[in-house]
A and B are shown apart, each in its own frame.
Chain A
């Protein structure tokens, strides 16, 4: 399996008559893209805006972030959504690095996030550093929330594909090649280095808490083995409307930093043999089934170490801890990535579940910590949502346009794939 990511750097966005990429400046034919997205009859309106790093702009409420990409080899970009349901473990893919499509829509109101492009809030979100095409989507009257979510999800993917596809002929700034061997070779490679797998937990509690693998809602899967190249090439996408701080955007899946970190150490410090995708379900029976199967796959691979990432908080903490407990009981050493809900004063317990075996935990920060986001010159979206957004409270939106919220409301603030540098300590 060989994946080539043809990276084209983007450091500026502008409107123009034809979509093109010259010297890092991506010019977008807004009218063509808007008409394309407006073909979806579920939308009453489609509005496009640009938001660049340093702009005095606030985006709210943000649903998803997608990195613009297209396939050079004819394969699907997001199997099951954009393109056919073909396997994406290999291929040649154009990546507009530094650009992002941000979809905005008040689907559930309180389950979307905030992105500030400058100021104190900007430090907490990875998407203050990307050049963002913001797609604001309003539904036709009476559209049911689940249909609205599906429509927004697809619109983000289509916009991401449109941008990359329009500039696919431009020479890449760099080409990243990942060659993934057959399992028989992978398991016997690098003798002397510890064998390691990645246990990739995906939010699948249902009712707008959904993630898709090859277009399949992952609450319907048994844990399964995937190649890192499949994740890097669009196999997993977000369909989530949960707290913005620790839901994995599609962008975070496309650029999964755990996979990148393990690949960097592969062959030097560890022998990375693959990714086990599992889900986070609501019933105890489902939790036991998935946790048992996930750890069984790790045992079949004969790994000594398992890096486990969570998505969300509260109920999924139980899945995280169960996965840790079962793996350690099977003699597999674990490291967990989670975030914390320790109260705004930091004095409360951080997780909803715990086990003594969880001796190695990376914290992505306390999501209850509060921040005041100063007023911005321009707000794209619907600022009134700040009062009801998860992490906000009545009075969050002040008269001067500033917002006092928990960082929970900031998109990607405590990302549990370990995308950011935020963490917490006991003082």
Chain B
């Protein structure tokens, strides 16, 4: 079977014109246009460029969401199996448009996408996690080298194959970690790396260090006596039976639980879902992790105005940082909307 591919390019590569034509609205042309010829040649019989969608870089940059939607509609009308965009080389608006088109196609049509850019094109950092980006030179001189690489990767995706490493495919890394088996065991690799490091010889770390977010703490409460205080925990405290099925590790969700009228987290009513610590004491008395009992006492004594009616809980055990950040944002939003003044965060 021959796969159907739609190619996305800008007004310049379509031969419509330069900056003076950058306001070109999205349009569809049947078959190949401009660099599509080289791409079609590289596909051979296995895939066919059924249509080319063209859009001016200026129009796209000024109307990102609308332009992406219009382009996706045109692409969808061709019922393709995959979309290839660019190459954009070091053209910033073009690269951004290619990335945005690929992302919109992936999200709306669920099709595989490939584009190509120079590593410093701003489109790379914006869209590298959303599409495959083949590495190119900074100008169109690199077209002849880039196109076969794009075609071969697109064909792999069309066949349902898993692409190889970025170095093998000629792509810029997407920033995802993928497991593989290496030739030697970890201890041997570590000893070799140490010998090299001590000799001052080049070596390659297997995990480049990330850069961490640092969140400045909020200012102190002005008046504790009038404050509504909420409890949030990563210690996995949940109503007995774990109604939301929060995972023991790598939690995919958090729970929201009503504690209005609850004075004490008893063993009959609460326990932990956390798989990273000995649950004996949390199951025996969940107040040890989520101190509802003490806060109720303080509330009665008038030390603060009110314990918030809901607590939020997840399991902080091997939970991906990206998910934890999302839980945090959502919980903070809910607490703010509920007029909560301060939060006590407990771990395990």
| A residues lining the B interface (CB < 8 Å) | 108, 110-111, 123, 144-146, 194, 196, 205-209, 241-243, 257-258, 260-262, 264-265, 269-270, 304-305, 307, 309, 313-314, 333, 335-338, 340-351, 353-356, 358-369, 388-394, 406-408, 415-427
Contacts and interface: CB of A to CB of B under 8 A. Distances in A.
Interface string B268-310: 0000000111111100000000000000000000000000000
A366 B320 CA distance: 11
B181 A422 contact: yes
A304 B194 CA distance: 10
B206 A347 contact: no
A196 to B, nearest CB: 7
A363 B209 CA distance: 12
B126 interface: no
Contacts of B279: 108
A343 B323 contact: yes
Given A342-B320, A390-B318, A424-B180, A415 B206 contact: no
A344 B245 contact: no
A209 B179 contact: no
Nearest to A356: B209
Contact of B203 (A360, A390, A408): A360
A425 B177 contact: yes
A360 B195 contact: no
Contacts of A335: 190-191, 193-194, 197
B245 A394 contact: yes
Contacts of A207: 277-278, 280-281
Interface stretch (B23-31, B248-256, B327-335): B248-256
A337 B205 CA distance: 11
B131 to A, nearest CB: 13
Contacts of B57: none
A345 B176 contact: yes
Interface in B47-67: none
Given A305-B198, A424-B177, A427-B176, A361 B207 contact: yes
Contacts of A347: 129, 175-177, 320, 322
Given A305-B197, A422-B179, A355 B209 contact: yes
13 contacts: A205-B277, A313-B318, A337-B187, A337-B190, A343-B323, A358-B205, A360-B203, A365-B179, A369-B179, A391-B250, A391-B318, A423-B182, A426-B175
Contact of A420 (B185, B191, B249, B318): B185
B194 to A, nearest CB: 4
Interface residues of B, number: 59
B218 interface: no
Interface in B147-203: 163, 165-166, 173-191, 193-195, 197-199, 203
A361 B197 CA distance: 11
B318 A348 contact: no
B179 A360 contact: no
Mostly, the A contact residues are loop
Contacts of B252: 393
Contacts of A344: 250, 320
A363 B207 contact: yes
B277 A209 contact: yes
A394 B238 CA distance: 15
Mostly, the B contact residues are loop
A425 B180 contact: yes
Nearest to B283: A145
Given A305-B198, A427-B178, 19 more contacts: A108-B279, A208-B277, A241-B278, A257-B188, A258-B187, A261-B188, A269-B195, A270-B195, A335-B197, A345-B176, A347-B175, A359-B197, A366-B177, A393-B252, A419-B186, A420-B185, A424-B177, A424-B178, A426-B208
B206 A423 contact: yes
Contacts of B278: 108, 145-146, 206-209, 241
B250 A368 contact: yes
A361 B193 CA distance: 9
A421 B181 contact: yes
Given A367-B318, A418-B187, A424-B206, A333 B248 contact: no
Contacts of A305: 194, 197-198
Contacts of A419: 185-187
A307 B189 CA distance: 11
A362 to B, nearest CB: 4
Contacts of A307: 190-191, 194
Given A258-B190, A426-B177, A390 B275 contact: yes
Contacts of A264: 191
Nearest to B248: A110
Given A305-B198, A427-B173, A418 B189 contact: yes
Nearest to B250: A368
A146 B322 CA distance: 34
A426 B173 contact: yes
A363 to B, nearest CB: 4
B103 to A, nearest CB: 15
Nearest to A367: B318
A259 B28 CA distance: 65
Given A388-B248, A408-B249, A343 B178 contact: no
A424 B207 CA distance: 8
B320 A348 contact: yes
A423 B179 contact: yes
